[in-house]
Chains A and B, each alone.
Chain A
Amino acid sequence: GIQVEQSPPDLILQEGANSTLRCNFSDSVNNLQWFHQNPWGQLINLFYIPSGTKQNGRLSATTVATERYSLLYISSSQTTDSGVYFCAGSARQLTFGSGTQLTVLP
């Protein structure tokens, strides 16, 4: 199966700062999703983005399918953005990365 690498593993920001999370894939994927796992453990779907760029409020994502990576941008971060961010991609079954633990300090 494919390998999914996320970076950085941990990120600490001051409220209001911007950040970029990266996801690399070992092979081509036909499905790519970004999730936020909240403190209760729920997986909140942020983006379905096998290619191109999407924006949703302060969040945006870009996937360059030909180079097998995706980026998640968080602008003007808030304390409620804290949690673990996962990317996941599939050629067959959806494979998750190890996540980025984001902490936003007030």
Chain B
Amino acid sequence: EPEVTQTPSHQVTQMGQEVILRCVPISNHLYFYWYRQILGQKVEFLVSFYNNEISEKSEIFDDQFSVERPDGSNFTLKIRSTKLEDSAMYFCASSDRLNNSPLHFGNGTRLTVT
């Protein structure tokens, strides 16, 4: 079964540094998402992306965050200047339709900001 793959699985960075989290969605999927889970809390929506632009974003997704689909296979989340509170598990997901279709999640990238 096709999978969403995320790299790296773990990332440690210092406060103020930029990080890029990478995702390869399922190849025929058109809708892409990033979610975040702070340790011990629920999974929160960050942003959705379709047709090379953001279709929806949450209040969490402020100016320090950006997403990009640099080529036909990768989908990236950039955090410009990391803060301690950005430490979390970041999940990428993709789906083939906007509605009535499951989201397929990657295994996540655990980001630790020190």
Min CB gap A32→B, angstroms: 9
B56 touches A92 (CB 8 A): yes
Give residues of chain A (43-88) contacting chain B, Cβ–Cβ below 8 Å.
43, 45, 48, 50, 86, 88
Q: How many contacting A-B pairs (Cβ < 8 A)?
A: 51
Dominant SS among interface residues on chain B? strand
Asked if B84 is at the interface of the complex by the 8 Å CB criterion, the answer is: no
Within the complex, the shortest CB–CB distance from A8 to chain B, in Å, comes to 15
**A41 CB within 8 Å of chain B:** yes
Give the distance in Å from the alpha carbon of A42 to the alpha carbon of B110 in the complex.
10
Interchain CB contact (< 8 A) of B100 among A45, A50, A98: A50
Interface residues on A, range: 20 to 34
**Residue contact B44 to A96, C-beta cutoff 8 Å:** yes
Cβ 8 A contact of B99, one of A30, A33, A43, A98: A30
User: B102 in the interface, Cβ–Cβ < 8 Å?
Assistant: yes
Q: Is A31 an interface residue (CB 8 A)?
A: yes
> Which 4 residue pairs across A and B have the least CB separation, nearest first?
A48-B102, A96-B43, A93-B45, A43-B105
